[in-house]
């Protein structure tokens, strides 16, 4: 019998990719819903697998590591994914900082698990664990970058880069998240649609930065320069 998680990943990536991911990534023990009606835990894990697949596509070393683990007879135990945000008033239509993602994570079942000052690099990190299976489902590590801690010229470059950001969370996605938060589960087709809509949030939401702005950022912060080119894509994913 095909699980809800496999069905969801198949809807997003296709059957072949879903099968391959099941061979690469360990399957956690999750609260399960009836077949065809996945729980928020199953939806959260399926989204994590879709995002993990994106890392394998973008990062050759990550793909090589994962395939080496599989070749040795093991599977990756997806511990957490990390992404960066900018807490800045001139952020276009995108909510500033981690607010762009907590509005997604909370309906999925995630709760704040810890706060980590990252003063050396001008950031604050926060971990979010899933309330239904905190030791099983991969956590999210959200970092907020603080431009106000840098020079005025740097802050101007930040505004140039992220000031045109769009908000990828559509009204349809918001509606499905509300239903998920209310009911704790969704019909399979709705859950699959939601995952596709949410996956688009983990990308760059601003235009390609101009070179002079990028160089201005890089001169003071490699972290902000990375955000300028990569946006809200996973910065890294970790094996346990």
d(CA 30, CA 18): 18
Decide: pTM greater than 0.85.
yes
Inform me whether the pLDDT recorded for 56 exceeds 90.
no
Per-residue pLDDT, 121? 97
Per-residue pLDDT, 178? 98
pLDDT digits (tens, 9 = 90+) for 189-236: 999 999 999 999 999 999 999 999 999 999 999 999 999 999 999 876
Range of the domain at 81: 4-239
Average pLDDT, rounded, for the chain: 94
Per-residue pLDDT, 63? 80
Phi, psi of 75 (to 5 degrees): -140, 150
CATH (domain of 224): 3.10.180.50
Structurally, how many domains does the chain consist of? 1
pLDDT digits (tens, 9 = 90+) for 65-118: 888 887 888 888 888 889 999 999 999 999 999 999 999 999 999 999 999 999
**What contacts 168, CB < 8 A, 6 or more positions away?**
94, 200, 201, 203, 205
């Amino acid at each position: 019998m095909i699980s809800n998680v496999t069905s969801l990943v198949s809807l997003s990536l296709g059957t072949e990719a879903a099968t391959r991911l099941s061979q690469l990534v360990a399957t956690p023990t999750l609260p399960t819903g009836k077949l065809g009606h996945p729980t928020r835990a199953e939806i959260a894990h399926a989204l994590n697998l879709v995002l993990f697949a994106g890392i394998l596509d973008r990062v050759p070393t990550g793909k090589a590591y994962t395939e080496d683990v599989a070749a040795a007879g093991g599977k990756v135990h997806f511990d957490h994914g990390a992404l960066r945000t900018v807490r800045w008033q001139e952020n276009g239509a995108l909510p500033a900082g981690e607010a762009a993602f907590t509005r997604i994570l909370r309906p999925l079942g995630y709760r704040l698990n810890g706060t980590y000052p990252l003063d050396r690099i001008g950031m604050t990190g926060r971990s979010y664990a899933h309330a239904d299976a905190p030791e099983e489902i991969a956590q999210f590590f959200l970092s907020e970058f603080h431009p106000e801690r840098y020079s005025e010229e740097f802050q101007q470059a930040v505004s140039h880069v992220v000031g045109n950001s769009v908000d990828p969370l559509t009204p349809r996605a918001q509606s499905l998240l509300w239903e998920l938060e209310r009911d704790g589960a969704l019909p399979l087709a709705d859950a699959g649609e939601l995952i596709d809509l949410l996956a688009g949030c983990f990308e760059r939401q601003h235009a390609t930065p101009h070179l002079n702005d990028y160089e201005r950022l890089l001169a003071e912060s490699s972290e902000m320069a990375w955000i300028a080119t990569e946006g809200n894509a996973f910065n890294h994913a970790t094996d346990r």
